Amino acid sequence: MRIEADLKLGFKDVLIRPKRSTLGSRSQVSLERTFKFRHSQKTWTGIPIMAANMDSVGTFAMAAALAELGLFTAARKHYAPEEWDAFVASAPDPRWLAHVAVSTGILDSDLAKLDRILERHPGLAFICMDVANGYSEYFVERIAKVRARHPERVIMAGNVVTGEMVEQLLLSGADIVKVGIGPGSVCTTRVKTGVGYPQLSAIIECADAAHGLSGQIISDGGCTCAGDVAKAFGAGADFVMLGGMLAGHDEGGGEMLERDGQKFVRFYGMSSRTAMEKYSGGVAEYRASEGKTVTVPYRGPVAETVKDILGGLRSACTYVGASQLKELTKRTTFVRVAEQHNPVFDP
């Protein structure tokens, strides 16, 4: 046994220190970024915020809405090839397809389905290889296999939380590594297993490793408000993935409930009992569910929420004098804090 004694930090442990700036207004801030990916050599331009590949978040309706706003969606993996056909046929322009990833697990059947979808739709440029624990040798082999079969597609893969594993996944064929173990809003990994890594430190360490190899990272999980999204970018994330913050909207198509005249939407982790019963016929004997099922207030169309998040992010850039999102991390100094917001009027 060994203890690493230096304290690792989460979003709640820091604030971004304001800096003198010449920027007049937040309307001068550009949130678009352009990336060139290390293996596929593809270029992408957009606002690097993405919907998580979860039920009632990573839907086709979400992909359509977010693509229109310049954002990205990792589609939930349970869509059938025929459903992809319909989505692609309904896309009014190539932008929709450039702002969505086909998600996959790593079983033979998952990869066969992935091939079927990609063969039919060369315009789908992104693959999201998603496993709860990105540390297995087998996952690394599977990334190499998908890279060999699809040299021209952009592969995002995860999840991991440490620099050496980011390097391993990038060297094995991933263009972008997804970072986060345990911070998610409906994730119970940390309580069920004791395993995890505070998200802000994970971003800082993994971004450093990835950028050294011309790779990118996605900060996945743990953002509770626009300020956390700003902190994730400030820490060095190239993309930020959101589940809970994008749940509860029309585009998610989740189950609606009504309580005391108020509308709610059901939202659950993809390793929760709810998800396992839906897709795997129950929770297998040898494993525990590592996700929960919650209800979130119904929030209408997602465009309003996105406007709020982008407004907060532009404002954060203005406070530190970053005229483009790209500059935010260079201009960020975090201060460690023992308080965040004033709770006096909290319900």
Question: Does residue 168 interact with ligand 5GP by CB under 6 A?
Answer: no
Please list every residue from 215 through 234 that binds ligand 5GP, using CB under 6 A: 220-223
Please list every residue from 311 through 340 that binds ligand 5GP, using CB under 6 A: none
Question: Does residue 146 interact with ligand 5GP by CB under 6 A?
Answer: no
Distance CA 33, CA 329 (A): 13
Bridge partner residues of 34 (DSSP) = 45
Question: Does residue 291 interact with ligand 5GP by CB under 6 A?
Answer: yes
Amino acid identity of residue 92, one-letter, is P
Please list every residue from 42 through 81 that binds ligand 5GP, using CB under 6 A: 52, 54
End-to-end CA distance of the chain: 43
Q: State in angstroms the smallest separation of the CB of 224 from ligand 5GP.
A: 7
Question: Does residue 177 interact with ligand 5GP by CB under 6 A?
Answer: no
Q: State in angstroms the smallest separation of the CB of 306 from ligand 5GP.
A: 14
Stretch that binds ligand 5GP, among 10-18, 206-214, 267-275, 328-336 (CB under 6 A): 267-275
Active site residue 206: no
Closest CA to 131 of 84, 170, 178, 164: 178
Give me the sign of the Cα torsion angle 333, 335, 336, 338. negative
Question: Does residue 185 interact with ligand 5GP by CB under 6 A?
Answer: yes
Q: State in angstroms the smallest separation of the CB of 293 from ligand 5GP.
A: 9
Closest CA to 190 of 205, 202, 208: 202
How, if at all, do strands 262-268 and 293-297 pair? antiparallel
Question: Does residue 243 interact with ligand 5GP by CB under 6 A?
Answer: yes
Closest CA to 309 of 254, 240, 263, 237: 240
What count of other Cβ atoms lies within 10 Å of the Cβ of residue 173?
A: 22
Q: 108 φ, ψ to 5°?
A: -55, -40
Question: Does residue 241 interact with ligand 5GP by CB under 6 A?
Answer: yes
Query: Could you list the residues that contact ligand 5GP (CB under 6 A)?
Result: 52, 54, 132, 159, 180, 184-187, 189, 220-223, 241-245, 269-272, 290-291
Which residues are tagged catalytic?
Answer: 187
